[in-house]
Structures are given as C-alpha cells and as structure tokens.
C-alpha cells in the first residue's frame, strides 16, 4: 500500500509538471486563458497581459509563435489587421 501511495504521488507530481511544461497560463482581461506551447519548456509559463501594450505582448517571440495574437483577437484587444501589422513590424525589426 505504501508503494502505491508513493507511485500515485509521483504520478500526480509528474502530471502537474508536464502541464506546466505544455501550456502558457495567460492572465488577460481579469481571466486566465491557456495557450498550448509549441515545445516543452518553462519559459513564459505564467504571463500577465494586463497593463501591457499589444506591441509589447506580441514582441515576446515564444508567445507570438504559440498564437497569443489569436488570443488577443478573441478577447477583443486587437483587430486581425492591427495584429498582422504589428507582427510584420516586429519581425522586420528582428531581421534588421
């Protein structure tokens, strides 16, 4: 029985770690949103979009690549045209 409890404890702990490695937890407009990560990492696991400009949010490469722009559109913070313009401007700056 003790072995089963230890096994269960480690399984739950590994599941929680895998969740944190797999998802960004974004605080936006007084709610939490999940955004699937493109690779397992702890980078930007927790991110608050409040008090940040759309340009600052989209400037974070891992978040932009994982689709935070779609989340901004979904919440009504930005239009699709404005997002495309900002992404083009950021990517052009990165190439320079």
Range of the domain at 42: 2-95
- Determine the number of helices (DSSP H) and then strands (DSSP E) in the chain: 5, 3
> Dihedral through CA 68, CA 70, CA 76, CA 81, nearest 10?
110
pLDDT 10s digits, 17-74: 999 999 999 999 899 999 999 999 999 999 999 999 999 999 999 999 999 999 999 9
Which residues fall within 8 angstroms of residue 29, CB to CB, at 6 or more apart? 49, 50, 75, 77
With a cut of 90, say whether residue 93 has pLDDT above it. Answer: no
**Number of domains making up the chain:** 1
pTM of the model: 0.85
With a cut of 80, say whether residue 96 has pLDDT above it. Answer: no
Over residues 73-88, mean pLDDT: 94
**Stretch (H or E) spanning 23:** strand 23-28
């Amino acid at each position: 029985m003790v072995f089963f409890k230890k096994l269960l404890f480690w399984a739950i702990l590994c599941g929680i770690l895998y969740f944190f490695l797999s998802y960004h937890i974004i605080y936006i407009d007084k709610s939490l949103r999940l955004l699937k990560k493109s690779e397992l990492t702890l980078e930007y696991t927790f991110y608050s979009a409040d008090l940040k400009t759309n340009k600052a949010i989209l400037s974070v490469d891992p978040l932009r690549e994982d689709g935070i722009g779609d989340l901004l559109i979904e919440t009504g913070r930005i239009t699709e045209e404005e997002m495309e313009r900002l992404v083009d401007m950021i990517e052009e700056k990165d190439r320079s």
